[in-house]
């Protein structure tokens, strides 16, 4: 009987070690899972803002500087004409709303010389199913296209994912 009790006691010690090891492993696994999920969540919220532009376009540089001064630093990607066409196709920018540069900010498309106030208003509460905003062409007096005091009237357009457009603002 004593021998049987010693065997049971040894078995109990082994089981305690086993459960201690198992609980340590489970604690480690839970911590690792939490850490990677937290890291993934942070990486999803950190977004790079990109400006695609022709390497020789000075007005695009002025617009990038304007955006940077207003809290939107942009990573500039210099692309040739054929690459720019592909980028505009990739982001579904209608031909009649295209301009000299394309910015991607918070996963939305901002085409052309859009004033920062319009971008901030858009990003504060993006309309449902929206692709982004666009200022077609290169209107004189728009950000990056300043020339003395002359301002050419222009519209900022909302572009929806289905291709519908509407005037967002007038300048």
Tens-digit pLDDT string for the chain (171 aa): 555 445 544 555 455 554 454 455 444 544 455 555 544 444 445 578 999 999 998 999 999 999 999 999 999 999 999 999 999 999 999 999 999 999 999 999 999 999 999 999 999 999 999 999 999 999 999 999 998 888 899 999 999 999 999 999 999
Q: What is the DSSP letter of 83?
A: H
Q: What pTM, to 2 d.p., does this model score?
A: 0.72
Are 59 and 36 part of one and the same domain?
A: no
Are 100 and 61 part of one and the same domain?
A: yes
Are 24 and 105 part of one and the same domain?
A: no
Are 56 and 39 part of one and the same domain?
A: no
Kindly state the helix (H) or strand (E) to which residue 29 belongs, with its residue range.
helix 2-45
Q: Specify the pLDDT at position 148.
A: 85
Assign 56 to helix, strand or coil.
Answer: coil
Assign 110 to helix, strand or coil.
Answer: strand
Domain encompassing residue 100: 50-170
What is d(CA 52, CA 119) in angstroms, rounded to the nearest whole number?
17
Are 89 and 13 part of one and the same domain?
A: no
Are 28 and 76 part of one and the same domain?
A: no
Are 58 and 3 part of one and the same domain?
A: no
Cβ count within 10 A of residue 114: 28
Are 41 and 71 part of one and the same domain?
A: no
Q: Do 74 and 124 touch, CB atoms closer than 8 A?
A: no
Are 60 and 42 part of one and the same domain?
A: no
With CA atoms as reference, report the closest residue to 145 among 106, 100, 109.
Answer: 100
Are 86 and 141 part of one and the same domain?
A: yes
Are 41 and 57 part of one and the same domain?
A: no
Q: Specify the pLDDT at position 6.
A: 52
- Last residue in a domain, options 28, 46, 64: 46
Q: Specify the pLDDT at position 141.
A: 94
Total tally of structural domains belonging to the chain: 2
Are 104 and 71 part of one and the same domain?
A: yes
């Amino acid at each position: 009987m004593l021998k049987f009790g010693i065997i049971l006691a040894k078995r109990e010690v082994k089981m305690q070690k086993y459960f201690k090891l198992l609980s340590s492993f489970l604690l480690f696994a839970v911590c690792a899972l939490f850490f990677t999920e937290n890291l993934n969540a942070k990486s999803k919220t950190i977004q790079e803002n990109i400006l695609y532009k022709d390497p020789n376009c000075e007005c695009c540089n002025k617009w990038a500087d304007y955006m940077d001064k207003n809290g939107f630093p942009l990573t500039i990607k210099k692309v040739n004409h054929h690459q720019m066409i592909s980028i505009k196709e990739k982001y579904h920018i209608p031909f009649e709303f295209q301009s000299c540069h394309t910015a991607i900010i918070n996963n939305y498309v901002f085409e052309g010389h859009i004033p920062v106030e319009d971008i901030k208003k858009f990003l504060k509460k993006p309309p449902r199913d929206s692709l982004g905003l666009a200022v077609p062409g290169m209107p004189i007096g728009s950000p990056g296209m300043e020339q003395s005091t002359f301002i050419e009237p222009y519209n900022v357009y909302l572009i929806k994912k289905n291709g519908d457009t509407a005037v967002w603002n007038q300048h």
